[in-house]
Amino acid sequence: MNTDAIIEFLEAVNTHETQSSIIESLESVLDVHGFDYYGVIRQPKASEDPLSLVLAGRWPAGWPAHYMEKKYVLIDPTIRYLGHARKGFSWAEAIPAFQSDPHRRRMQRMMVDAVRFGLEGGYIFPIHGRRGLMGNLSVGGKPVELSQTEMVLFDALAKTVFWRLLELTDPLINEELSSSVDVQLTRREMEALSYLADGMTSNEIAAVLKLSNHTVDWYMNAVQTKLKAKNRHHAVAIAFRLGLIS
């Protein structure tokens, strides 16, 4: 096992003062483990270009352009599976999770294309924060078999390098994403929000809480205001990301 290189990186990462020195050290670790390619990427919103959120990366020539041209970002099984994962997993584990998905053929086509570009195998490690999934570290190239210990260490490496790079490259975004959540909801507002997340209508929530529809709507409007949500669906999405509901 090549665990020493990861441990040394974790011990020294906070002594690096520049983005380039961190990237150089990270790439040395990846080279030791046999990974030719990688990406440290912030989790994009629907309206954001994933390539603009790359904190560091090294990919096969032409792959990023091909990936975007084919709109694989919309169906990438490794990215979609991140939403379910609490720890790192191999790319090969993602496809079986979407057996009945209508986009399964496109997912398989994407994986075949990846192999054609030299991405024959790899792993992806999610980075979570107080606001949910923040980004990921993806590593790949020729097939590499990581031990369970190495998987645990790579999980730690992913989190460490992500936050350190973000701190150096965009301190304002780093502060925004890592700051504590300070949303003060009343008990009734939390109850109404939880029932809304379960798919209940205002009438159903009012019946359960023994309140009028008008009062429930008043609570939900307050929740939307406090969460700075555009509508009720947006309020539920934000609440999930903030860990207010589960």
Give yes or no: residues 35 and 108 share one domain. yes
**C-alpha distances in angstroms, 68 versus 50, 53, 136?**
9, 14, 18
Supply the pLDDT for residue 116.
97
Give yes or no: residues 145 and 38 share one domain. yes
pLDDT in tens, the chain (246 residues): 578 999 999 999 988 889 999 999 999 999 999 999 999 998 876 566 777 789 999 999 999 999 999 999 889 999 999 878 889 999 999 999 999 999 999 999 999 999 999 999 999 999 987 667 889 999 999 999 999 999 999 999 999 999 999 888 865 665 555 555 568 889 899 899 999 999 999 999 999 999 999 999 999 999 999 888 899 999 888 887 777 776
**C-alpha distances in angstroms, 220 versus 172, 186, 200, 203?**
31, 11, 13, 13
Output the domain CATH number for residue 80.
Answer: 3.30.450.80
Query: Domain ends where: 160, 178, 196?
Result: 178
Is the distance from CB of 91 to CB of 35 less than 8 angstroms?
no
Supply the pLDDT for residue 48.
63
Give yes or no: residues 152 and 86 share one domain. yes
Is the distance from CB of 208 to CB of 221 less than 8 angstroms?
no
Full-prediction pTM beyond 0.85?
no
Output the domain CATH number for residue 223.
Answer: 1.10.10.10
SS3 130: coil
Specify the amino acid at residue 170: D
Looking at the 3D structure of the chain, how many domains does it have?
Answer: 2
Residues in the chain: 246
Give yes or no: residues 106 and 167 share one domain. yes
CA 123 to CA 69: how far, in whole Å?
23
